[in-house]
Amino acid sequence: MNFSKGLSSVRGIRRFGTITRVLFKHGLGDVGERLFSVRDGKSRDEADEEHLFKAGFPSPRRIRLVLEELGPSFIKLGQLMSTRADLFPPEYIEEFKKLQDSVPPIPFGDVKAVIEKELKRPLDSVFASFDPDSIAAASVGQVHMARLFTGEKVAVKIIRPGIEKKIREDVRLMYNLAEKVERAFEVGRIIGAVNLVKEFERIIFRELDMLIEAGSIEKFASNFKEDDEIYIPKVYWEQTTKSVLVMEHIDGIKMDDVERIQAHGIDPRDVALIGLRSFSRQLMQFGFFHADPHPGNTIVMYDGRVSLVDFGITGYLDDETMRQIANLFLGYAEHDYDMIMDALQEAGLINDETMDLTAFRIDLKDMSEAFYGRSLQNISVRDVYDQVMQLVLKYHVHLPRNLMLLLKTFIQTEALGKILGSDASLLEVTRPYARQLLQRGIDARSMLKNLGRDARITGGYMKTVPRYVHDILKQTARGRQAMELRHTGFESLNAGLEKSVNRLTVGMIIAASIIGGAMILNSGQKILEFTLDWLGFQNISLTALLGVMGYVVATVLGLWLVLSIFRSGKL
């Protein structure tokens, strides 16, 4: 992406002017001056930067007010920042959480125009009735009630007209600002301002596509189709487009309305257990979870079932991550810190090259032991989350986005459980699902699936490796590349092998001398007999002399070999 595009249009220049004005309005003029004034490539000295921080820069509240005034795109960016406790201190996270999509609804005429443009039909030919007043309005879209000609009551979600173009322009400006922030402030480089904008860009444009959300709803419906506790609304695909989502309207009670739930004869604690079981299945059975389970998105139906709505934010976990999460849950449930540490290392979150694992384990255990055996009423996942973040920051652990999303979802799930008065233990509810996942990982079907996958990967390697080898050799033959092989550390091995081979050779010579001498002495044939008047011998043959010499050679070499082995101390 070309970050400078935001400056190439008149609107981009005006938008920068607006940002500067808003920064000065909320007492952040020093920030605006450092970001936008020309300094001939020179930055403030460290003393000046320290003065800014001592003066209260940057104030979380002022930053939140700036984001609110700059509009929907920056509000959404702030909402993303509120989920990144691994990057921002707690006071910033709490302030960013105050950012709400409190925007006025768009006029009914604009809603009607969007629907008719998308569906290419008049509104009254699509819906038998359509409520012109919205039931929910956010920065990206809003929701209206309607009824189809077949009688079904539906919720219609419409993307605000022109919002995509505005967000694209704002994203370009965000990239430009992020580059300036990273150049002007050390903290900008630490948090990775440009990468934060990249993450925001990916999330926001998924949220603008109603077909993606509709697909998520269908996937959840398939996952829970045989579950009699969870109900997923139906998508009406004939009326759904990229900017319009038509789904079944769910009649029921918001999950935080405990009095109404009880008035309908439903035990709120049962509802909490349904939510915990559902969340456990999402994590450890499907690897696909609803990442925004706040009360407005979780409806208690009048028959006691729980319905999830608004699937704009979802998270994915691959098989390996699911297994690691299951090991973490089981490790905590069974006080097995070896299992916990192994799971964290397999996930690549910790390693002995970049941190002191002994100290990390001690801190982790000190943090965790205080929460064992306590129900949702006696434990705060928020406290656990804060302490986890302290470990993350202390040991510089990088948490992938999906794990951060998962931690945020845990907090929301725990909050709902407390509202409903649940006395359940989160670890006890998730334990059986974790066991099932780990058992499923070693059953015959999974093993065959993994073998098949590994075979496909190996087959791909076998196809590509010869081509790569051919290219390397071809470049080498043309003199464009050179190959140099070096090996070190084999000197002692070579010396040991040489000594062993020498001893083996001497042993073979000894054996051959003994066998040869014995065969010659036992032979009846005599060659070159001569008389020797020495030591009582008178007649002796050459063959007998050679046989005796064989025994002598064998004896001498044998004594030498035995002595050398004894001297080496390696008998």
- Matching residue, tokens 């006025």: 104
Distance between CA atoms of residues 168 and 119, nearest Å: 24
Task: Name the helix (H) or strand (E) containing 451.
Answer: helix 444-477
Distant-in-sequence, close-in-space partners of 62: CB < 8 Å, separation ≥ 6: 26, 27, 28
Residue ranges per structural domain of the chain: 3-101+167-206, 107-160+209-222+235-249, 253-442, 453-481, 496-568
Residue 153 pLDDT level (bands cut at 50, 70, 90): very high
Convert the pLDDT of each residue in 387-406 to its tens digit.
Answer: 777 777 788 777 676 777 77
The alpha-carbon radius of gyration of the chain (Å, integer) is: 38
Reported confidence tier of residue 46, pLDDT bands at 50, 70, 90 = very low
Convert 520-543 to b/e letters by CB count within 10 Å (16 or more is b): beeeeeeeeeeeeeeeeeeebbeb
If pLDDT is split at 50, 70 and 90, which confidence band does 149 have? very high
Beta bridge partners of 156: 144, 246
Residue 111 has a CB neighbour count (10 Å cut-off) of: 23
Report which DSSP code applies to 3. Answer: G
Please say if the pLDDT value at position 356 is more than 50: yes
Give me the pLDDT at residue 39, please. Answer: 46
Model pLDDT, residue 163:
86
Q: Tokens for 148, please give them.
A: 């189809």
Of 385, 372, 397, nearest in space to 82 by CA: 385
Mean pLDDT of the chain: 76
Catalytic residue among 86, 292, 319, 423: 292
Residue 109's pLDDT band, with cuts at 50, 70 and 90, is very high
> Region 244-268: what's the mean pLDDT?
92
Nearest by Cα to 554 from 528, 526, 518: 518
Distance of CA 346 to the CA centre of its chain: 12
C-beta separation of 260 from 299 below 8 A? no
CATH classification for the domain delimited by 107-160+209-222+235-249, as one of 3.30.70, 3.30.200, 3.30.310, 2.60.40: 3.30.200
Residues in the chain: 571
Measure CA 564 to chain center: 60
What DSSP letter does each residue of 390-402 carry, written as one string?
Answer: HHHHHTTPPPPHH
Q: Decide: 93 and 66 in contact? Cβ < 8 Å.
A: no
Q: Is the dihedral of CA 424, 428, 434, 435 positive or negative?
A: negative
Q: Mean pLDDT lowest for which of 76-85, 225-234, 252-261?
A: 76-85
> Does 558 or 61 have the greater pLDDT score?
61
Structure tokens at 443: 């059953």
- Enumerate residues 6+ apart whose C-beta is below 8 A from 549: 517
Is 342 annotated as catalytic? no
Q: What percent of the chain has pLDDT over 90?
A: 19
Check residue 219 and give its pLDDT: 95
Who has greater pLDDT, 190 or 165? 165
Helix, strand counts (H, E) of the chain = 23, 13
Q: How many CB atoms lie within 10 A of CB 60?
A: 17
Using 50, 70 and 90 to split pLDDT, how confident is the model at 110? very high
What average pLDDT does range 369-373 have in this prediction?
A: 65
HEC-encoded secondary structure of 213-234: HHHHHHHHHHHCCCCCCEECCC
Q: Please state the rounded mean pLDDT for residues 99-115.
A: 83
Instruction: Write the single-letter amino acid at 375.
Output: S
AA letter at 14: R
Which residues, listed in sequence order, are joined to residue 245 by a DSSP beta bridge? 157
What local confidence, expressed as pLDDT, does residue 516 receive?
A: 67
CA distance 40 to 114: 48
Determine the average pLDDT of the residues in 456-462: 63
Model confidence at 224, in pLDDT bands (50, 70, 90)? very high
Percent of the chain scoring above 70 in pLDDT: 66
Q: Before 122, cis peptide (omega within 30)? A: no
3-class DSSP state of 308: strand
pLDDT (0 to 100) of residue 145: 95
Average pLDDT over residues 456-485: 68
For tokens 């209260």, the residue is 56
* Side chain identity at residue 157, one-letter code: K
Burial class (CB in 10 A: 0-12, 13-18, 19+), 388: buried
Alpha helices of 108-192 — where are they, by DSSP H? Answer: 108-119, 123-126, 163-184, 186-191
Query: Residue 247 pairs with which residues in a beta bridge?
Result: 155, 235
Q: What is the pLDDT of residues 497-544, one digit of tens each?
A: 666 776 677 777 777 767 766 666 666 666 666 555 555 555 666 666
pLDDT at 13: 57
- What 3-state DSSP class applies to 546? helix
Collapsing DSSP to helix, strand or coil, 145 comes out as strand
- Which amino acid belongs to residue 115? I
The burial of 57, by beta-carbon neighbours within 10 Å (0-12 exposed, 13-18 middle, 19 or more buried), is given as middle
CA distance 401 to 259: 36
In single-letter form, the type of residue at position 56 comes to G
3-state secondary structure of 405: helix
Residues 15-28: tens digit of each pLDDT: 656 666 666 655 55
Q: pTM of the prediction?
A: 0.63
